[in-house]
Amino acid sequence: MSRMIRISLNLSLILTLSFGSALTVYAQEPETPQVRITQVDNSNFPNVTVYLSATNAAGEPVGIDPATIQIHEDGQLMQLTDVRGGGEALGGEAIPITTMLVIDISGSMDKGNKIGAAKDAAKTYVGGMRDVDQAGVIAFDTQVYRIQEVTSDKSALTAAIDGLHTGSDTAMYEGIMEATKALEGISGRKAILVLSDGLDNQSVATEESIVTNVGPSGLTVSAIGFGDPSGTGQAGIDEAGLQSLTSRTGGQYAYVTDAATLTALYQQTGKAYQSEYAVTYVSPLTLRDGVNRNLSVALTGAPTVAEGTYNPGGVLPEVTASSLPLFLSILAGLLALLFLPGLIGGISNLAGGRKPGSGFGLGKQSAKPASGRIKLK
């Protein structure tokens, strides 16, 4: 009898521990998504569209409840007017994206057939494009080449990539600058994806000039270093420069050393782009005053916050009905500063007994010109 009681007690203990453990796992809170600002489009200012990515700890896209998105501009909570996206894979709307594939074709890309791996990875990205997406191809060595203008034609893009062949030196920043120009006039979500295996040794363009040229519609620059970043010269990678540029433009930097990882990274990048959200609000400060606006994005109840900035552009405030009195006051002040020295000079001349027009060389010409000067007739 006692043995049966012990067995019963042991069984009860096992069941309690088992179910208790199961209940503990079941009660664990879901993982909080990591939110990142990828692009700020203020081309329709004061309407501002913020593009967001939401990922898990592994960097994989995850869906979020649009109602939980909170955006603050300069500390003030914004009223959202539109939230779209999430991608078809997450049961959301497909937001079109335009990507410029910028590919290094310098001579060092021949080593280990890196150019072949680059082609395969780029074609994999093109193959994953949706009907609403489009892309273009730019290549660079000593010079920059627009291999394929922006198109949704996957066959044309694939043919352009297949036709790439290596050249000589590296003008990476020039290639990125050309990509920003190629995307001018294109609205919506835009991204530049750069692949390089070496240090830039030919560009006039700089990180600063690229950031400046991004413009009010914004875009993302992401970069992949292909090779050994600890190398020197042409074998090295300007990781510091690429990390800074990608960080300032909402992109990301990574490096790989083999073809399989490179292809996987292109695939992952494409899926991340396609799963983003577009969130629109109206800025309460409607003047293009040239002053940076600070943004913060968070999900309700989540501790993590994504931060960014944008500049609405403009040097002088735009004149609207509400701002007209302020504008006229500023204009009157500027005119007063402009004419005040002349007014003071005129008053001084009158007080000193000079005839009007006798100062500032406006009087009659002397009958006898000064030595060394040409006489005016």
Q: Are residues 151 and 252 in the same domain?
A: yes
If pLDDT is split at 50, 70 and 90, which confidence band does 333 have? confident
Q: What is the mean pLDDT of the chain?
A: 82
Specify the CATH number for the domain of residue 292: 2.60.40
Q: Are residues 72 and 109 in the same domain?
A: no
Q: Are residues 213 and 294 in the same domain?
A: no
Neighbours of 331 (CB within 10 A): 12
Which two three-digit tokens encode residue 309? 């900035």
Of 156, 132, 218, nearest to 183 by C-alpha is 218
At residue 231, the pLDDT reads: 59
How far lies 94's CA from each of 97, 277, 357, in Å? 9, 9, 73
Q: Give the three-class secondary structure for 247.
A: helix
Give 189-211 pLDDT, tens digit per residue: 999 999 999 888 889 999 999 99
Q: Are residues 105 and 67 in the same domain?
A: no
Q: Average pLDDT of 93-120?
A: 95
Residue 34 has pLDDT above 50, yes or no: yes
Of 164, 133, 175, nearest to 151 by C-alpha is 133
The answer to whether 294 and 74 have CB atoms below 8 angstroms apart is yes
Of 67, 66, 77, 68, nearest to 295 by C-alpha is 77
> Can you say how many angstroms the Cα of residue 1 is from the centroid of all Cα atoms in its chain?
76
Question: What pTM, to 2 d.p., does this model score?
Answer: 0.75
Say if 293 falls within a structural domain: yes
Say if 27 falls within a structural domain: no
Say if 374 falls within a structural domain: no
At residue 90, the pLDDT reads: 73
Say if 12 falls within a structural domain: no
Q: Are residues 131 and 223 in the same domain?
A: yes
Q: Average pLDDT of 288-305?
A: 92
Q: Are residues 291 and 271 in the same domain?
A: no
Domain holding 209, by residue range, is 97-275
Of 198 and 370, which is predicted with more confidence? 198
Containing 310, the helix (H) or strand (E) segment is: strand 305-310
Q: Are residues 48 and 139 in the same domain?
A: no
Which two three-digit tokens encode residue 68? 């939980």
If pLDDT is split at 50, 70 and 90, which confidence band does 356 have? very low
d(CA 208, CA 234): 23
Q: Are residues 122 and 263 in the same domain?
A: yes
Q: Are residues 102 and 63 in the same domain?
A: no
Q: Are residues 104 and 69 in the same domain?
A: no
Least confident of 56-60, 156-160, 305-309, 367-371: 367-371
At residue 88, the pLDDT reads: 79
Q: Average pLDDT of 20-43?
A: 70
Residue 334, φ and ψ in degrees, nearest 5: -65, -40
If pLDDT is split at 50, 70 and 90, which confidence band does 322 have? low
* Domain limit, last residue, from 258, 275, 292: 275
Least confident of 2-11, 87-96, 225-234: 2-11
d(CA 154, CA 134): 8
Say if 334 falls within a structural domain: yes
Whether the bond between 46 and the residue before it is cis, its omega within 30 degrees of 0, is yes
At residue 17, the pLDDT reads: 36
Q: Are residues 109 and 122 in the same domain?
A: yes
The answer to whether 236 and 49 have CB atoms below 8 angstroms apart is no
At residue 46, the pLDDT reads: 96
At residue 280, the pLDDT reads: 97
Please provide the DSSP assignment of 116-146 as one string: HHHHHHHHHHHHT--TT-EEEEEEESSSEEE
Q: Are residues 294 and 234 in the same domain?
A: no
At residue 27, the pLDDT reads: 44
Query: Structural domain tally of the chain?
Result: 3
Say if 189 falls within a structural domain: yes
Please provide the DSSP assignment of 154-194 as one string: HHHHHHHHHT----SS--HHHHHHHHHHHTTT--SEEEEEE
Tally of residues, the chain: 377
Of 90 and 14, which is predicted with more confidence? 90
At residue 3, the pLDDT reads: 45
Specify the CATH number for the domain of residue 221: 3.40.50.410
Give 233-255 pLDDT, tens digit per residue: 445 788 888 999 999 998 999 99
Q: Compute the C-alpha angle 327/308/304, nearest 5°.
A: 135
Residue 361 has pLDDT above 60, yes or no: no
Of 17 and 76, which is predicted with more confidence? 76
Q: Average pLDDT of 282-308?
A: 92
Say if 184 falls within a structural domain: yes
If pLDDT is split at 50, 70 and 90, which confidence band does 330 have? confident
Give 45-92 pLDDT, tens digit per residue: 999 999 999 999 888 899 999 999 999 999 999 999 999 999 877 778
Give 107-137 pLDDT, tens digit per residue: 999 988 999 999 999 999 999 999 999 999 9
Say if 86 falls within a structural domain: yes
